[in-house]
């Protein structure tokens, strides 16, 4: 991985730190990020990185209710299994939720719910790769790196936006 640059933005779910390389966005980190959840160095501050600028604009549009899909290029860091889980997360429709088991089944690994949950928890691209749309089989909100309060805020925002359109 080439050198990483970062810049922090304010959002309705708190301060988010965007990390990008010269190839794309690498991470969206939470204000109270758990140490080592995402294993990407912060690098140096640079608000002019084109992928940071693009992600910042797209996140602003998302929070304003005018964007339902992200198009910023990604430079994803993870194992092949994790990348596969994250690719499947990107297929979850806006304002819809799925279970860990649903993702495991979509990957043709129906017994891998727990592994899917672990990969979900390591998703470095919160919000952009919508792991907030994954819930327990019961429909209950479970674990989220940004906290359950923020998970609910994101799901409510998407539901409201969809109903307003």
Give the residue numbers marked as catalytic.
131
Cβ atoms of 104 and 116 closer than 8 Å: yes
Query: Which value, to the nearest 10 degrees, does the dihedral of the CA atoms of residues 148, 63, 34, 90 take?
Result: 90
Question: What is the phi/psi pair of residue 137, to 5°?
Answer: -55, -30
What gap in Å lies between CA 165 and CA 66, rounded to an integer?
10
Q: What are phi and psi of 118, to 5 degrees?
A: -65, -45
Query: What tokens does 100 get?
Result: 């860990």
Closest by CA to 76, choosing from 134, 33, 24, is: 24
Phi first, then psi: what are they for 98, rounded to 5°? -135, 165
- Give the CA dihedral 88, 93, 95, 96, nearest 10 degrees: -70
């Amino acid at each position: 991985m080439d050198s990483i640059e970062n810049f922090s933005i304010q959002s309705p779910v708190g301060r988010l730190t965007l990390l990008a390389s010269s190839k794309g966005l690498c991470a969206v980190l939470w204000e109270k990020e758990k140490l080592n959840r995402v294993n990407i160095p912060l690098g140096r501050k640079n608000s002019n990185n084109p992928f940071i600028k693009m992600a910042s604009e797209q996140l602003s549009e998302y929070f304003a209710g005018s964007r339902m899909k992200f198009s910023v290029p990604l430079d994803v860091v993870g194992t092949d299994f994790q990348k596969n889980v994250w690719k499947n997360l990107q297929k979850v429709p806006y304002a819809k939720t799925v279970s860990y088991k649903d993702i495991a089944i979509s990957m043709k690994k129906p017994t891998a719910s727990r592994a899917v949950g672990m990969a979900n928890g390591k998703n470095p691209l919160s919000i952009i790769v919508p792991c907030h749309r994954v819930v327990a089989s019961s429909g209950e909100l479970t674990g989220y790196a940004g906290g359950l309060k923020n998970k609910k805020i994101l799901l409510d925002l998407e539901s409201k936006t969809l109903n307003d359109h």
